[in-house]
Structure 1
């Protein structure tokens, strides 16, 4: 047996780009709204000098580890929920995480600073929030949501994540004003608006990619809060060799035609447990809108292979499934999201398996991996080392938000703090404090 995927099955090392929003099950393609701690015997850590070493995982602690020489290293057992890492610690712990932010800064330095017009959301019919941070307080300035409720729940999740990044920051967050989209596609008409987005195409250089709302909570009872799901997965996780030797997927078919291709390719295959869910109420955000064939997220981890039908492992429910000790299979990407530079589809560090967009080579890839279980297990382990135990930790998300806020401020205008009554000269704070808004 060989130790690598066959030549015909090898994905290109150059991965252009993924359809947005893994299992944003009721989101139309135009972007409108639809209605335990991990125990690692010898854990990889990255020092602030970037060296990779091996160390025994210590008992969980709320305080960062300091070596005798004063060198701090990220340890996922202890630090996965260390929300208050310094900027230097974030750089040491998560190299490559901020590539998208650095790209966006470089673009703004070429075209000029962000202006108040850039954060205006009057052009967006729904699915947008305008906010500001003034003296470490988060204010909501404007919201635009439809009646389905999904957009508002996404908006709340994003605001909560931003708020946590602010209140846990070891250093002050600069005053800044910004706007973000809650829809899968922020700017469907491609009018080049500089808004924070969940995804972007390669040519949409003006978009700033933010962390997904699901890193706080997915607005559906079938999934739940991100940290809760991570704990449930960890408690119920099993050895890779003991998992079901199948690929698993559950989702709604009305999101895109790619999902129909998946069902066609996997129909009546003994290596696949792939089914479509029927949503009784497409506007429902509760678990009772799903038929009995749904599988809770920890249940997906009982399989050796999990599918991301949007090709993007980190939007929507995909980030939850990446916490499984399973091989993640995704198709070639057409959209980008914050973690895309970290996806490795081939080589010794391979952490995903990439297939054609129509899933035409899925059976070939699965057959090879089933015949080469050590290869499959290595890919799964690379995935959890990179993502579950590092880049998808809550600590990483807090670091990402603070880097984004600070970087945006570096290339943006200074926001106005007060609204002034021209007749009386009375000053009123702009917007509503986040605590009042929620």
Structure 2
């Protein structure tokens, strides 16, 4: 009888222990599921993409590969952020996240858009972010040890480069562009109304002819020469007016999506139009980009040289496939962009090939829009996710000398340098000793 009671007691104890373990596991799993439940097995809703309060885990789960540029920059060696005598082109900022406050050490008047973007990402973060000092450049040229809009993707170019989101994610104050979220909404409307078969069957481009890439100084003149008088092209030089604020022949940024093919040309380095064009269910046609923005690496190129165009020799195809900047190739069933010859020599033949293969062409266009727009890589959520990762990543590797930069103690910077962001955003001035 005693044996039976002991056996029953053991079973009871085991049952209690198992119940406790299962309870703990279920509640732990429930905590995990509560974090990711809105995103499981489906693309988040537009409402979620407009949310600015995603955790770091949610950001990485929903936007895989978004922080590739940051992760690679962090992998490089530690370095010391030094004071430079020629900082007239850069702004240096000290951010204190414990108090949700920002101190700005402004050397010059900077694009307010970048500062607004950073402030928005910080103040809406559901998790604490580290204090740090950083430099950023608003120029098209690229600078080491500073946040820039792009970097060279030439593997021969070595250095410490950090890519930040473009200012257009706040606003691009041109009459035919505006804010990113407005443009995306208008693009959604166009894509809902105009199927691929009804889009204008031409390549489209507007731009300034003389503003050419440092890596391809004849990029735009060659494009104009190649498309001149062609019935398959709607390519024009912008006729600027009102101090370059608007142009007589401009096309609103969303209206590019009404065309089947959109030509992308880099500027001095990058061009800020690329994200807007990628939101369209149209085919972006471009020479292989020589500079990467923060999400350009999401391109999956189909090289024109792989299409067996009648005008392409085997030598040309071999040369294109040896491009050291874009080593990975994609099949036509996987691609979301088309790369053509840097001199546009095969542009017409590529367009004719795409016309002759409408199913392939439509697939490329739809994959582009799905990758960039529909799954949220241009959303406000994605943008603040990237900024926060940039702050975290940068703070891991930069070494700050507080004797040089001062120290924020919650009541102000030690020696009176800088100004609160709230004040600077209104006055545009900072006390700089």
Question: Taking structure 2 as the reference length, what is the TM-score of the superposition?
Answer: 0.74
Paired residues in the alignment total 345
Change (3 A) 1:311 1:205: same
Is it true that 1:411 corresponds to 2:397 in the alignment? Answer: yes
Is it true that 1:398 corresponds to 2:404 in the alignment? Answer: no
- Distance, in Å, in 2 between the alignment partners of 1:312 and 1:300 is 22
**Alpha-carbon deviation of 1:311?**
8.6
**Alpha-carbon deviation of 1:351?**
0.7
**Alpha-carbon deviation of 1:144?**
2.7
8 Å contact kept, 1:312–1:333: no
SS at match of 2:60: helix
8 Å contact kept, 1:74–1:92: no
Question: Taking structure 1 as the reference length, what is the TM-score of the superposition?
Answer: 0.73
8 Å contact kept, 1:419–1:429: no
C-alpha distance after superposition, 1:328-365 (max 9, x if no partner): 11211222222232110132321101111111111111
Q: Which residue of 1 aligns with 2:245?
A: 286
- 1:195 counterpart (146, 152, 156): 146
- 1:220 counterpart (165, 174, 178): 174
Larger Rg: 2
**Alpha-carbon deviation of 1:263?**
0.9
SS at match of 1:141: strand
Is the helix fraction higher in 1 or 2?
2
**Alpha-carbon deviation of 1:73?**
5.9
- Distance, in Å, in 2 between the alignment partners of 1:351 and 1:326 is 9
- 1:133 counterpart (95, 99, 107): 95
Change (3 A) 1:74 1:412: farther
Please list every run of 5 or more consecutive structure 1 residues that lacks an aligned counterpart in the other structure: 1-62, 146-151, 188-192, 421-425
SS at match of 1:224: coil
Please list every run of 5 or more consecutive structure 2 residues that lacks an aligned counterpart in the other structure: 1-33, 213-217, 302-329, 408-412, 426-433
Q: Which residue of 1 aligns with 2:259?
A: 303
Q: Which residue of 2 aligns with 1:374?
A: 359
8 Å contact kept, 1:248–1:273: yes
Q: Which residue of 2 aligns with 1:66?
A: 37
Change (3 A) 1:397 1:269: same
RMSD of aligned residue pairs (Cα, Å): 2.7
Change (3 A) 1:303 1:121: farther
SS at match of 2:292: coil
Is it true that 1:335 corresponds to 2:298 in the alignment? Answer: no
- Distance, in Å, in 2 between the alignment partners of 1:337 and 1:213 is 12
Structure 1 runs, 4 residues or longer, greater than 3 Å off:
70-74, 311-315, 414-420, 426-430
Change (3 A) 1:208 1:307: same
- Distance, in Å, in 1 between the alignment partners of 2:141 and 2:338 is 25
Greater relative contact order: 1 or 2 (C-alpha under 8 angstroms, separation 6 or more)? 1
8 Å contact kept, 1:72–1:89: no
Q: Which residue of 2 aligns with 1:273?
A: 234
- Distance, in Å, in 1 between the alignment partners of 2:54 and 2:268 is 27
